[in-house]
Structure 1
Amino acid sequence: MTDALHRRTLLKAMPALALTGAATPLAATPPAALATPALTLAMRLRVLIGAPQELGMVDGVRKRIIPITGGTVEGPRLTGRILPGGADWQSIRADGTADILARYSIAASDGTILSITNPGYRHGPAPVLARIAKGEAVDPALYYFRTTPRFDVASDGPHAWLGRTVFLCTAARYGDHVALDIFAVG
């Protein structure tokens, strides 16, 4: 009974302690500058794509699915091939922004199968997006296309590092493929 009474008294006093400056020493100490993370190229992907499958307007957003039919993975940290069977599910907003969610698999050069989930955004000026939609090669500097890939891998395998690293990707859309440079965030 005494312990319960002591806890209630302490809990009632906590707001008063905060007002009297009990938290001031922590708040008064300026935080040290945090390190700016480095980006290191981990791999380059060339993801082959099929014709978009238009679903139409769903809840006020244009939806489409773009099949992933294959491709290659080259890089200092991973090489292999993109397996057919994945897709990029896109929601195209009224302002032209493509909200992207791609899921597909990679067969690493050592035979290991890896799964990748790659969400992101692509947007830019309407005339540039229209050229991309026509399949024209457009300078990637003219539009924004970034993703944040995540990998599902065996935690005890040679590619376990993929499952515990944050990645940032810069991308470009072409008529028959998407080029992706995937960077490990240090």
Structure 2
Amino acid sequence: MHDISPPVLRHLFTLHATLAAPLDAGDGPLGRRTLNSVSEGQFSGARLKGHVNPGTGDWMLTRSGIRVVDARIVLVTDDGALIHMRYGGRIRFDDADLSALASGRTRHLVDPSRYYFRTTPVFETGAPNYLWLNGIVAVGTGRLIEGGVSYEVFEVT
């Protein structure tokens, strides 16, 4: 029998995104679909940094109190490389916080320890300096910030 070490997380980058007004399609056959598009954003880490291409975002589905993340964004590094980042995930809020979360003026004041916001980013690029991203597994922890969202993204090593 071989010992298997548990995964270790290595910080990849911090991402902050300002969101445009959501486009809420209402309740459909699969749940409530909302587009949360990025109006601006930036990311920074030891191995890559840059900005988020505006207009990319999350086609979120809410059903039974669970928000299912379905995001596709384009990262543009400071040296001009394009990195496609798509991620799924789950967001779960306590019912007691829903009224504060419904307002753009107060939602960022809800303590992140009161909700669950996790993602699983996957990267795709042809940029030579960032080819290593194509072969990693990553996880992210999100939180609500004033006017948008913020993520801490980690490589699973």
Quote the Cα distance in structure 1 between the aligned partners of 2:118 and 2:131. Answer: 24
Q: What is the TM-score when the length of structure 2 is the normalising length?
A: 0.92
Q: Secondary structure at the match of 2:100?
A: helix
User: Which runs of 5 or more residues in structure 1 are unaligned?
Assistant: 1-30
- Which residue does 2:61 correspond to in 1? 91
- How does 1:2-151 map onto structure 2 within 5 Å? 31-94=1-64, 96-135=65-104, 136=106, 137=108, 138-151=110-123
> Offset at 1:60?
4.8
Q: How many residues align?
A: 154
Given residue 68 of structure 1, which amino acid in structure 2 is its aligned partner? Answer: V
Higher relative contact order (CA 8 A, sep 6+): 2
User: Does residue 1:153 correspond to 2:153, yes or no?
Assistant: no
Q: Could you tell me the percent identity over the aligned residues?
A: 29
Whichever structure has more helix as a proportion of its residues is: 1
8 Å CA contact 1:132–1:175 kept in 2: the answer is no
Q: Secondary structure at the match of 1:162?
A: helix
> Offset at 1:175?
4.0
Q: Secondary structure at the match of 1:88?
A: strand
Quote the Cα distance in structure 1 between the aligned partners of 2:131 and 2:97. Answer: 39
Quote the Cα distance in structure 2 between the aligned partners of 1:39 and 1:56. Answer: 37
State the structure with more CA Rg.
1
RMSD: 1.3
8 Å CA contact 1:132–1:173 kept in 2: the answer is no
Given residue 55 of structure 1, which amino acid in structure 2 is its aligned partner? Answer: A
Quote the Cα distance in structure 1 between the aligned partners of 2:28 and 2:154. Answer: 34
CA deviation string 1:121-175 (max 9, x = no partner): 1002112243223122211111000000011111x61001111010010010234
